[in-house]
Structure 1
Amino acid sequence: MTLSVPSARAVDLRVERVDDVLERVERSLHVHLDRNSLVRKRRSIGARTQRDTWVRIERRSLARVGRQGWDGIECAEALRGITKPAWHAGVAWRDAEDAVMWRADETALLPGEPIGSSVVAVAPELSDVWWETLSASLDALAEQRTNRIATPDTESVTQELVIETIRGVFPDSFDMTVKHWRPAHADVNWANMTAPEFCLFDWEDWGMAPRGLDAASLWGASLAVPALAERVRAERRHDFESREGKLMTLFVCAKILGPYAHPEDPRLEPARSMAERLVKDLQAG
């Protein structure tokens, strides 16, 4: 028998009253949150504390917590060789009135400002050292060991998801079996990295994924700036040239070109062009 999980009320934390949540976090973590520094997103809130740390608070439905839990930021503290904020403490609780969980994680402050929105329209100024640190961090991540499953957009990356996403846009027949799985951040984009000093943050969804997911995700977030997208491909060439890297690039293209595509998205044409090449490559074996 399959047990159903109750549905959670749809909430946008950008407009929801959260005073009681902030106060609970302050009591639990023994911090004072600077209300003037609040950064509010649809399902998370962040704020600076009086001891020069950062607290990220997330609301997630029980159905999306999954079997591995959702302690990604805490678990990422065990990772080595990766430039990321240090984790200090965390607290989680079940909402008394809704089918959701809340979690707060206290981490070190970022060494710089986030580069931009998740998808950029103007190329950021990044040094060669920045690119080298990005690649070193992704290479180190790929060598780690974990039982976690990556959950970008809170959805577990499985073989079935890869096939469903790609075939939903590209029904062509070719083998989509993923043979090489690696630990991935699962949300590498321009809003989750800092400059001029590189730092990769927001580790709540990291876990095992097909090789090349992170590289393909960053490439997709760069497509509106062709030179930037090419730099991403050049820096992570060994990922993109692998069979899984091609599948993950097609996976990202399918998300860009799928049913929710905006007709004025500047990424549409380059994604379509790349997808045509990849389908031919994958069909050829």
Structure 2
Amino acid sequence: MTPTDGRATDLRIAPIGDVLDRVERSLHVHLDRNTLVRKRRSIGARTNRDSWVRIERRPVEKILGQGWNGTECASALGGIAKPEWQESVSWRDPVEATMWRADETGLLPGPPIGSSVLATDPQLPEAWWQSLTTSLDALAGQDTTRVATPDTEVITQTLVTTTVQTAFPTRADTTIRRWSPAHADLNWANITAPHFCLFDWEDWGMAPRGLDSASLLGASLAVPTLADRVRSERRDDLESRDGKVMTLFVFAKFAGADAHPDDPRVEPARREAARIVSELQSA
């Protein structure tokens, strides 16, 4: 595959036939090409044995440390609505400085709710919201040595402080006081409905309290009623001191100085960020 810099390939448009063939041989499975879902750095397809295979490509420097077996490691987590992991295969690209990994899991109980950011209210049933809260609370109560990698970047105190201060300068102390396990890529493209199920676990690990709740809030701001429901359901996280810092961290990624002028989330995010900064400074 080209180019050979290990980072520039977009799997939505790159040739992937050889990758699919290799995965089929390694897992002894047939991938239904008619069900292919292609994203920038991952591919997914249904198999002939009623399972799903997700294939991901990452630069080598992005998998140092804890590795990138998140989906496999997440199989040990209890009390969370997620697909059952079955097996995997990984290999290093012989030309590029990249690694490939394919994970086979059970099928999802329903379709993803939408793209990562929603523009309309999905009108989710009460049972869905209950399952969301149960799953996120169960996740936060478990133990792991993994460290979360939102956007494939290891989350650290320095990253949090730098990101927040760059977008929303404040004199407030942004030191995180509580860390707990988080999915670290919680958005509307990684959740199913009408039955709640959280998938794509490659980035999960320890993170500041409130990261997941803030991420879902940030993905909901274009729909005020949806954002209000997220605030209500995840109030304990979002109203905690660490949760407020995480809200600034998440909002900084799309509402900072380089914000896209047509993004409907920008203005509500900036208003909420101003309130949070004021609260943190007066605390």
| Range of TM-score over shorter length | over 0.9
1:134 has 2:151 as partner = no
User: RMSD in angstroms over aligned alpha carbons?
Assistant: 1.0
* Runs of at least 5 residues in structure 1 that lack an aligned partner in the other structure: 1-5
Match of 2:67 among 66, 69, 76: 69
Residue in structure 1 matched with residue 247 of structure 2 by the alignment? 249
1:203 has 2:178 as partner = no
After the TM superposition, which residues 138-217 of structure 1 pair with which residues of structure 2 at under 5 Å, given as runs? Answer: 138-217=136-215
Q: In structure 2, how many angstroms separate the alpha carbons of the residues matched to 1:9 and 1:249?
A: 29
Contact 2:47 / 2:53 at 8 angstroms: preserved in 1?
A: yes
Contact 2:7 / 2:58 at 8 angstroms: preserved in 1?
A: no
* Runs of at least 5 residues in structure 2 that lack an aligned partner in the other structure: none
Q: In structure 2, how many angstroms separate the alpha carbons of the residues matched to 1:210 and 1:155?
A: 14
Residue in structure 1 matched with residue 267 of structure 2 by the alignment? 269
How far apart are residue 59 of structure 1 and its match? 0.5
Residue in structure 1 matched with residue 9 of structure 2 by the alignment? 11
1:98 has 2:65 as partner = no
How far apart are residue 9 of structure 1 and its match? 4.5
Q: In structure 2, how many angstroms separate the alpha carbons of the residues matched to 1:258 and 1:12?
A: 26
Per the normalisation by structure 2, the TM-score is 0.97
Match of 1:38 among 13, 36, 59: 36
Residues 36-68 of structure 1, C-alpha deviations (whole Å, 9 max, x = no match): 111111110000000010000000000111200
Residue in structure 1 matched with residue 119 of structure 2 by the alignment? 121
How far apart are residue 232 of structure 1 and its match? 0.2
Q: In structure 1, how many angstroms separate the alpha carbons of the residues matched to 2:268 and 2:172?
A: 22
Q: In structure 2, how many angstroms separate the alpha carbons of the residues matched to 1:14 and 1:125?
A: 30
After the TM superposition, which residues 106-117 of structure 1 pair with which residues of structure 2 at under 5 Å, given as runs? Answer: 106-117=104-115
Runs of 4+ displaced beyond 6 Å: none
Partner SS state of residue 248, structure 1: helix
Q: In structure 2, how many angstroms separate the alpha carbons of the residues matched to 1:237 and 1:200?
A: 20
After the TM superposition, which residues 22-37 of structure 1 pair with which residues of structure 2 at under 5 Å, given as runs? Answer: 22-37=20-35
Per the normalisation by structure 1, the TM-score is 0.96
How far apart are residue 35 of structure 1 and its match? 0.9
Partner SS state of residue 86, structure 2: strand
How far apart are residue 14 of structure 1 and its match? 1.0
Residue in structure 2 matched with residue 3 of structure 1 by the alignment? none
After the TM superposition, which residues 230-245 of structure 1 pair with which residues of structure 2 at under 5 Å, given as runs? Answer: 230-245=228-243
How far apart are residue 191 of structure 1 and its match? 0.5
Partner SS state of residue 102, structure 2: strand
How far apart are residue 259 of structure 1 and its match? 4.1
Residue in structure 1 matched with residue 55 of structure 2 by the alignment? 57
Q: In structure 1, how many angstroms separate the alpha carbons of the residues matched to 2:5 and 2:22?
A: 24
Q: In structure 1, how many angstroms separate the alpha carbons of the residues matched to 2:5 and 2:61?
A: 8
Partner SS state of residue 30, structure 2: coil
Partner SS state of residue 273, structure 1: helix
How far apart are residue 155 of structure 1 and its match? 0.4
Residues 47-96 of structure 1, C-alpha deviations (whole Å, 9 max, x = no match): 00000100000000001112000000000000000000000000111110
Q: In structure 1, how many angstroms separate the alpha carbons of the residues matched to 2:5 and 2:165?
A: 29
How far apart are residue 174 of structure 1 and its match? 1.0
Partner SS state of residue 114, structure 1: coil
Q: In structure 2, how many angstroms separate the alpha carbons of the residues matched to 1:114 and 1:238?
A: 26
